[in-house]
Protein backbone atom coordinates (compact mmCIF):
# COMPACT_ATOMS: atom_id res chain seq x y z
CA UNK A 1 0.00 0.00 0.00
CA UNK A 2 1.32 3.42 -0.96
CA UNK A 3 0.38 6.39 1.19
CA UNK A 4 -1.03 9.37 -0.71
CA UNK A 5 1.25 12.25 -1.64
CA UNK A 6 0.06 15.77 -2.24
CA UNK A 7 0.38 17.03 -5.79
CA UNK A 8 2.29 20.14 -4.70
CA UNK A 9 4.88 18.11 -2.79
CA UNK A 10 5.26 15.68 -5.68
CA UNK A 11 5.96 18.52 -8.12
CA UNK A 12 8.56 20.14 -5.83
CA UNK A 13 12.14 19.51 -6.91
CA UNK A 14 14.45 17.47 -4.69
CA UNK A 15 16.95 19.48 -2.58
CA UNK A 16 19.70 20.45 -5.05
CA UNK A 17 22.63 20.30 -2.61
CA UNK A 18 21.65 16.78 -1.55
CA UNK A 19 21.37 15.75 -5.19
CA UNK A 20 24.83 17.12 -5.91
CA UNK A 21 26.32 15.24 -2.97
CA UNK A 22 25.09 11.98 -4.48
CA UNK A 23 27.33 12.66 -7.49
CA UNK A 24 30.24 11.83 -5.17
CA UNK A 25 29.05 8.25 -4.65
CA UNK A 26 31.63 5.82 -5.92
CA UNK A 27 34.17 8.53 -6.81
CA UNK A 28 37.54 8.52 -5.07
CA UNK A 29 40.01 11.39 -4.91
CA UNK A 30 43.77 11.03 -4.64
CA UNK A 31 45.31 12.34 -1.40
CA UNK A 32 47.40 14.82 -3.39
CA UNK A 33 44.32 15.99 -5.34
CA UNK A 34 41.44 16.17 -2.87
CA UNK A 35 37.91 17.23 -3.73
CA UNK A 36 37.26 20.96 -3.94
CA UNK A 37 33.68 21.32 -2.67
CA UNK A 38 32.15 24.62 -3.74
CA UNK A 39 28.55 23.40 -3.81
CA UNK A 40 27.17 24.92 -0.60
CA UNK A 41 27.55 28.29 1.10
CA UNK A 42 27.94 27.07 4.65
CA UNK A 43 30.95 27.78 6.88
CA UNK A 44 32.83 24.54 7.50
CA UNK A 45 34.73 25.74 10.55
CA UNK A 46 33.51 26.04 14.14
CA UNK A 47 32.63 29.42 15.66
CA UNK A 48 35.43 31.32 17.42
CA UNK A 49 36.42 29.97 20.81
CA UNK A 50 34.79 32.76 22.81
CA UNK A 51 31.44 32.01 21.22
CA UNK A 52 31.83 28.28 21.83
CA UNK A 53 32.61 29.00 25.47
CA UNK A 54 29.47 31.14 25.75
CA UNK A 55 27.41 28.24 24.39
CA UNK A 56 29.06 25.79 26.79
CA UNK A 57 28.57 28.12 29.76
CA UNK A 58 24.88 28.47 28.97
CA UNK A 59 24.48 24.74 28.45
CA UNK A 60 26.08 23.98 31.81
CA UNK A 61 24.78 26.76 34.02
CA UNK A 62 21.58 28.23 32.56
CA UNK A 63 18.64 25.85 33.10
CA UNK A 64 16.36 28.02 30.95
CA UNK A 65 18.58 27.28 27.95
CA UNK A 66 17.09 23.80 27.84
CA UNK A 67 13.44 24.80 28.15
CA UNK A 68 10.85 26.23 25.80
CA UNK A 69 11.29 29.94 25.30
CA UNK A 70 9.13 32.67 23.79
CA UNK A 71 7.78 31.73 20.36
CA UNK A 72 9.11 34.92 18.74
CA UNK A 73 12.50 34.62 20.42
CA UNK A 74 14.46 35.84 23.42
CA UNK A 75 13.52 39.44 24.31
CA UNK A 76 17.17 40.43 24.76
CA UNK A 77 18.11 39.21 21.29
CA UNK A 78 15.11 40.88 19.67
CA UNK A 79 16.00 44.14 21.40
CA UNK A 80 19.67 43.89 20.38
CA UNK A 81 18.74 43.38 16.73
CA UNK A 82 16.30 46.29 16.87
CA UNK A 83 18.96 48.59 18.35
CA UNK A 84 21.81 47.56 16.06
CA UNK A 85 19.69 47.52 12.91
CA UNK A 86 18.20 50.93 13.73
CA UNK A 87 21.71 52.35 13.99
CA UNK A 88 23.02 50.54 10.92
CA UNK A 89 20.13 51.45 8.62
CA UNK A 90 19.35 54.90 9.99
CA UNK A 91 15.77 54.05 10.94
CA UNK A 92 13.58 53.15 13.86
CA UNK A 93 12.92 49.49 14.58
CA UNK A 94 11.25 48.29 17.77
CA UNK A 95 11.95 44.99 19.52
CA UNK A 96 8.33 44.01 18.91
CA UNK A 97 9.08 44.26 15.18
CA UNK A 98 11.72 41.51 15.35
CA UNK A 99 11.12 37.76 15.42
CA UNK A 100 13.72 35.02 15.79
CA UNK A 101 13.41 31.89 13.68
CA UNK A 102 15.10 28.52 13.17
CA UNK A 103 17.33 29.87 10.43
CA UNK A 104 16.54 32.20 7.55
CA UNK A 105 14.81 29.52 5.49
CA UNK A 106 12.21 29.22 8.23
CA UNK A 107 11.96 33.00 8.32
CA UNK A 108 11.03 32.97 4.63
CA UNK A 109 8.51 30.16 5.06
CA UNK A 110 6.93 31.79 8.11
CA UNK A 111 6.46 35.21 6.56
CA UNK A 112 5.31 33.80 3.24
CA UNK A 113 2.72 31.64 5.01
CA UNK A 114 1.07 34.88 6.15
CA UNK A 115 1.18 36.49 2.69
CA UNK A 116 0.48 33.99 -0.09
CA UNK A 117 -1.79 30.97 -0.42
CA UNK A 118 -2.40 28.42 -3.17
CA UNK A 119 -3.24 30.17 -6.42
CA UNK A 120 -1.40 33.38 -5.54
CA UNK A 121 1.75 34.60 -7.29
CA UNK A 122 5.13 35.79 -6.00
CA UNK A 123 7.87 37.36 -8.13
CA UNK A 124 11.30 35.73 -7.84
CA UNK A 125 14.23 37.17 -9.79
CA UNK A 126 16.13 34.54 -11.76
CA UNK A 127 18.54 32.99 -11.22
CA UNK A 128 16.68 32.34 -7.95
CA UNK A 129 17.48 30.80 -4.58
CA UNK A 130 16.06 27.32 -5.00
CA UNK A 131 14.71 26.94 -1.44
CA UNK A 132 12.47 29.96 -1.98
CA UNK A 133 11.08 28.33 -5.10
CA UNK A 134 10.66 24.98 -3.32
CA UNK A 135 8.57 26.48 -0.52
CA UNK A 136 6.29 28.28 -2.95
CA UNK A 137 5.84 25.07 -4.95
CA UNK A 138 4.93 23.12 -1.81
CA UNK A 139 2.24 25.68 -0.98
CA UNK A 140 0.78 25.83 -4.48
CA UNK A 141 1.95 29.43 -4.89
CA UNK A 142 3.14 30.30 -8.39
CA UNK A 143 6.72 31.55 -8.52
CA UNK A 144 6.75 34.09 -11.37
CA UNK A 145 10.27 34.32 -12.85
CA UNK A 146 11.70 37.82 -13.15
CA UNK A 147 14.75 37.44 -15.42
CA UNK A 148 17.67 39.50 -14.17
CA UNK A 149 18.97 42.21 -16.48
CA UNK A 150 22.57 43.26 -17.07
CA UNK A 151 24.90 42.40 -14.22
CA UNK A 152 22.27 40.02 -12.78
CA UNK A 153 20.37 43.05 -11.42
CA UNK A 154 16.56 42.74 -11.65
CA UNK A 155 14.66 45.56 -13.35
CA UNK A 156 11.74 47.16 -11.44
CA UNK A 157 10.04 48.14 -14.72
CA UNK A 158 10.14 44.54 -15.90
CA UNK A 159 8.72 43.48 -12.55
CA UNK A 160 5.86 45.94 -12.86
CA UNK A 161 4.89 44.39 -16.19
CA UNK A 162 4.58 40.96 -14.54
CA UNK A 163 2.24 42.00 -11.73
CA UNK A 164 -1.32 40.69 -11.78
CA UNK A 165 -4.28 40.72 -9.42
CA UNK A 166 -2.90 37.51 -7.93
CA UNK A 167 0.55 38.92 -7.09
CA UNK A 168 1.19 39.12 -3.35
CA UNK A 169 4.92 39.79 -2.97
CA UNK A 170 8.26 40.49 -4.61
CA UNK A 171 11.35 38.72 -3.25
CA UNK A 172 14.89 40.12 -3.47
CA UNK A 173 18.11 38.56 -2.14
CA UNK A 174 21.04 40.93 -1.74
CA UNK A 175 23.95 40.25 -1.76
CA UNK A 176 22.47 37.67 -4.06
CA UNK A 177 22.33 33.92 -3.86
CA UNK A 178 23.24 32.48 -6.35
CA UNK A 179 24.62 35.44 -8.30
CA UNK A 180 26.66 37.13 -5.58
CA UNK A 181 25.81 40.60 -6.87
CA UNK A 182 25.00 43.49 -4.55
CA UNK A 183 21.84 45.28 -5.60
CA UNK A 184 22.27 49.07 -5.84
CA UNK A 185 20.40 51.04 -3.19
CA UNK A 186 18.38 52.81 -5.89
CA UNK A 187 17.25 49.45 -7.30
CA UNK A 188 16.12 48.24 -3.89
CA UNK A 189 14.23 51.50 -3.31
CA UNK A 190 12.55 51.28 -6.72
CA UNK A 191 11.28 47.81 -5.88
CA UNK A 192 10.13 49.04 -2.48
CA UNK A 193 8.17 51.88 -4.03
CA UNK A 194 6.65 49.51 -6.58
CA UNK A 195 5.56 47.13 -3.84
CA UNK A 196 4.23 49.94 -1.66
CA UNK A 197 2.26 51.53 -4.48
CA UNK A 198 0.72 48.23 -5.53
CA UNK A 199 -0.09 47.02 -2.01
CA UNK A 200 2.44 44.18 -2.09
CA UNK A 201 5.07 42.90 0.32
CA UNK A 202 8.74 43.39 -0.49
CA UNK A 203 10.63 40.44 1.03
CA UNK A 204 14.27 41.51 1.32
CA UNK A 205 16.54 38.60 2.21
CA UNK A 206 19.83 40.01 3.51
CA UNK A 207 21.41 36.79 4.75
CA UNK A 208 24.81 37.89 3.42
CA UNK A 209 24.71 41.57 4.42
CA UNK A 210 27.76 41.18 6.69
CA UNK A 211 29.87 40.48 3.59
CA UNK A 212 28.68 43.36 1.43
CA UNK A 213 31.71 45.14 -0.03
CA UNK A 214 30.15 48.59 0.27
CA UNK A 215 30.65 50.80 3.32
CA UNK A 216 27.57 51.87 5.23
CA UNK A 217 23.98 50.71 4.89
CA UNK A 218 23.12 48.88 1.64
CA UNK A 219 19.76 50.70 1.47
CA UNK A 220 17.78 53.37 3.29
CA UNK A 221 14.36 51.72 3.49
CA UNK A 222 14.17 51.60 7.27
CA UNK A 223 14.64 55.37 7.24
CA UNK A 224 11.24 55.66 5.60
CA UNK A 225 8.63 56.07 8.39
CA UNK A 226 6.17 54.17 6.22
CA UNK A 227 8.22 50.97 5.84
CA UNK A 228 5.83 48.99 8.02
CA UNK A 229 3.25 47.09 6.03
CA UNK A 230 5.46 46.83 2.95
CA UNK A 231 9.03 45.89 3.88
CA UNK A 232 9.95 42.53 5.38
CA UNK A 233 13.64 42.00 6.14
CA UNK A 234 15.15 38.53 6.59
CA UNK A 235 18.52 37.72 8.16
CA UNK A 236 20.65 34.77 9.21
CA UNK A 237 23.28 34.40 11.92
CA UNK A 238 24.63 31.24 10.27
CA UNK A 239 27.20 32.92 8.07
CA UNK A 240 28.55 35.77 10.22
CA UNK A 241 29.03 33.69 13.40
CA UNK A 242 29.36 30.21 11.83
CA UNK A 243 26.18 29.05 13.56
CA UNK A 244 24.74 26.94 10.74
CA UNK A 245 24.03 23.96 13.00
CA UNK A 246 22.29 26.10 15.61
CA UNK A 247 19.69 27.50 13.18
CA UNK A 248 19.15 31.15 14.11
CA UNK A 249 17.51 33.61 11.73
CA UNK A 250 15.41 36.74 12.06
CA UNK A 251 12.48 38.61 10.57
CA UNK A 252 11.95 42.36 10.82
CA UNK A 253 8.37 43.35 9.98
CA UNK A 254 5.50 45.29 11.48
CA UNK A 255 4.29 43.92 14.81
CA UNK A 256 0.86 43.03 13.44
CA UNK A 257 2.42 40.79 10.81
CA UNK A 258 4.63 39.12 13.40
CA UNK A 259 1.56 38.30 15.49
CA UNK A 260 0.45 36.17 12.53
CA UNK A 261 3.95 34.74 12.09
CA UNK A 262 3.78 33.62 15.72
CA UNK A 263 0.99 31.19 14.80
CA UNK A 264 3.19 29.55 12.20
CA UNK A 265 6.26 29.35 14.43
CA UNK A 266 4.33 27.96 17.39
CA UNK A 267 2.96 25.23 15.15
CA UNK A 268 6.20 24.09 13.49
CA UNK A 269 8.89 24.68 16.15
CA UNK A 270 7.27 26.16 19.31
CA UNK A 271 10.38 28.30 19.87
CA UNK A 272 13.78 28.95 18.30
CA UNK A 273 16.85 27.08 19.48
CA UNK A 274 17.74 28.54 22.88
CA UNK A 275 21.49 27.92 22.79
CA UNK A 276 21.66 29.31 19.27
CA UNK A 277 19.92 32.49 20.36
CA UNK A 278 22.26 32.88 23.34
CA UNK A 279 25.19 32.45 20.95
CA UNK A 280 23.80 35.00 18.50
CA UNK A 281 23.29 37.56 21.27
CA UNK A 282 26.82 37.02 22.60
CA UNK A 283 28.19 37.35 19.10
CA UNK A 284 26.34 40.61 18.45
CA UNK A 285 27.78 42.07 21.64
CA UNK A 286 31.33 40.77 21.33
CA UNK A 287 32.34 39.81 17.79
CA UNK A 288 32.05 42.93 15.65
CA UNK A 289 35.81 43.10 15.06
CA UNK A 290 36.01 39.38 14.40
CA UNK A 291 33.21 39.63 11.81
CA UNK A 292 35.06 42.53 10.19
CA UNK A 293 38.03 40.21 9.76
CA UNK A 294 35.81 37.53 8.26
CA UNK A 295 34.42 40.08 5.83
CA UNK A 296 37.91 41.16 4.78
CA UNK A 297 38.84 37.54 4.11
CA UNK A 298 35.72 36.94 2.01
CA UNK A 299 36.44 40.09 0.00
CA UNK A 300 39.98 38.82 -0.62
CA UNK A 301 38.56 35.54 -1.88
CA UNK A 302 36.15 37.42 -4.11
CA UNK A 303 39.05 39.34 -5.60
CA UNK A 304 40.91 36.08 -6.21
CA UNK A 305 37.86 34.62 -7.98
CA UNK A 306 37.51 37.69 -10.18
CA UNK A 307 41.19 37.67 -11.07
CA UNK A 308 41.21 33.94 -11.74
CA UNK A 309 38.17 33.92 -14.02
CA UNK A 310 39.68 36.76 -16.03
CA UNK A 311 42.39 34.28 -17.09
CA UNK A 312 40.05 31.40 -18.05
CA UNK A 313 39.50 31.13 -21.81
CA UNK A 314 35.84 31.03 -22.72
CA UNK A 315 34.49 31.41 -19.18
CA UNK A 316 32.55 34.55 -18.27
CA UNK A 317 31.96 35.67 -14.71
CA UNK A 318 28.38 36.96 -14.51
CA UNK A 319 28.45 37.93 -10.85
CA UNK A 320 30.60 37.62 -7.72
CA UNK A 321 30.15 38.72 -4.14
CA UNK A 322 29.48 37.54 -0.60
CA UNK A 323 29.87 33.74 -0.77
CA UNK A 324 29.18 33.19 -4.48
CA UNK A 325 30.41 33.38 -8.03
CA UNK A 326 28.04 32.77 -10.93
CA UNK A 327 29.59 32.03 -14.29
CA UNK A 328 28.86 31.09 -17.88
CA UNK A 329 30.86 28.07 -19.04
CA UNK A 330 32.27 27.57 -22.56
CA UNK A 331 31.47 23.89 -23.08
CA UNK A 332 29.05 22.36 -25.57
CA UNK A 333 27.13 20.32 -23.02
CA UNK A 334 24.44 21.17 -20.46
CA UNK A 335 25.63 22.36 -17.07
CA UNK A 336 24.29 19.28 -15.16
CA UNK A 337 26.46 17.04 -17.34
CA UNK A 338 29.38 19.42 -16.94
CA UNK A 339 28.97 19.40 -13.16
CA UNK A 340 29.12 15.60 -13.00
CA UNK A 341 32.10 15.59 -15.31
CA UNK A 342 33.90 18.10 -13.11
CA UNK A 343 33.54 15.75 -10.15
CA UNK A 344 35.11 12.84 -12.03
CA UNK A 345 37.75 14.65 -14.06
CA UNK A 346 38.65 17.74 -12.03
CA UNK A 347 37.72 16.86 -8.47
CA UNK A 348 35.38 19.85 -8.24
CA UNK A 349 31.81 19.79 -6.90
CA UNK A 350 29.72 22.81 -7.91
CA UNK A 351 26.08 23.37 -8.84
CA UNK A 352 24.70 23.73 -12.36
CA UNK A 353 22.72 26.81 -13.30
CA UNK A 354 19.68 24.67 -14.06
CA UNK A 355 19.13 24.41 -10.30
CA UNK A 356 18.55 28.17 -10.14
CA UNK A 357 16.22 28.70 -13.09
CA UNK A 358 12.84 27.51 -14.37
CA UNK A 359 12.91 24.18 -16.18
CA UNK A 360 12.28 25.80 -19.56
CA UNK A 361 14.88 28.55 -19.18
CA UNK A 362 17.76 27.71 -21.57
CA UNK A 363 20.24 29.98 -19.77
CA UNK A 364 20.75 27.54 -16.91
CA UNK A 365 22.37 24.98 -19.22
CA UNK A 366 25.27 27.39 -19.75
CA UNK A 367 25.79 28.50 -16.12
CA UNK A 368 27.30 27.25 -12.86
CA UNK A 369 27.40 28.51 -9.29
CA UNK A 370 30.55 28.40 -7.20
CA UNK A 371 30.30 28.88 -3.42
CA UNK A 372 33.86 30.08 -2.82
CA UNK A 373 33.59 31.11 0.82
CA UNK A 374 34.85 27.75 2.07
CA UNK A 375 38.11 27.74 0.12
CA UNK A 376 40.98 30.13 0.79
CA UNK A 377 42.89 32.16 -1.78
CA UNK A 378 45.46 29.42 -2.57
CA UNK A 379 42.65 26.88 -3.01
CA UNK A 380 40.87 29.32 -5.33
CA UNK A 381 44.03 29.32 -7.44
CA UNK A 382 43.88 25.51 -7.53
CA UNK A 383 40.20 25.65 -8.51
CA UNK A 384 40.99 27.97 -11.42
CA UNK A 385 43.76 25.67 -12.65
CA UNK A 386 41.46 22.65 -12.52
CA UNK A 387 38.82 24.50 -14.53
CA UNK A 388 41.49 25.54 -16.99
CA UNK A 389 42.59 21.95 -17.40
CA UNK A 390 39.17 20.62 -18.35
CA UNK A 391 39.04 19.92 -22.09
CA UNK A 392 35.94 19.87 -24.35
CATH code of the domain made up of 7-46+290-389: 3.90.1150.10
Q: What is the pLDDT of residue 11?
A: 87
**pLDDT > 90 fraction of the chain, expressed in percent and rounded:** 90
pLDDT in tens, 352-367: 999 999 998 999 999 9
Which of the residue ranges 27-31, 34-38, 99-103, 274-278 would you say has the lowest mean pLDDT? Answer: 27-31
Question: Is there a shared CATH topology between the 7-46+290-389 domain and the 49-287 domain?
Answer: no
- Domain residue spans in the chain? 7-46+290-389, 49-287
The whole-chain average pLDDT of the chain stands at: 95
What's the CATH number of domain 49-287, 1.10.150.120, 3.90.1170.50, 3.40.640.10, 3.40.50.720? 3.40.640.10
pLDDT in tens, 206-250: 999 999 999 999 999 999 999 999 999 999 999 999 999 999 999
pLDDT in tens, 299-316: 999 999 999 999 999 999
Surface-to-core class of residue 33, CB atoms within 10 Å of its CB (0-12 exposed, 13-18 middle, 19+ buried): exposed
Q: What is the pLDDT of residue 195?
A: 98
Q: What is the pLDDT of residue 277?
A: 97
pLDDT in tens, 2-32: 788 999 998 888 888 888 899 989 899 989 9
Helices (H), the chain: 7-11, 16-22, 49-61, 75-89, 103-113, 130-139, 156-162, 185-198, 255-268, 274-286, 288-309, 335-346, 377-389
Amino acid sequence: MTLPLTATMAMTEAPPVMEARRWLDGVTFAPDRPLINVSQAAPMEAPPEGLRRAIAEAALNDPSAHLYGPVLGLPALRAEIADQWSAAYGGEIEAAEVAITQGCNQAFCAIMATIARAGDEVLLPTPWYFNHKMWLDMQGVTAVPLPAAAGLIPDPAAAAALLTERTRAIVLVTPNNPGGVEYPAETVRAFYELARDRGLALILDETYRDFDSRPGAPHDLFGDPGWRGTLVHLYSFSKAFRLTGHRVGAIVADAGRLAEVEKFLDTVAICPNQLGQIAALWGMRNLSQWVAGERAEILARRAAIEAGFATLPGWRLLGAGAFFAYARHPFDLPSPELARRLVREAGVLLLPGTMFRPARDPEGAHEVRIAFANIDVPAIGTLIERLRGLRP
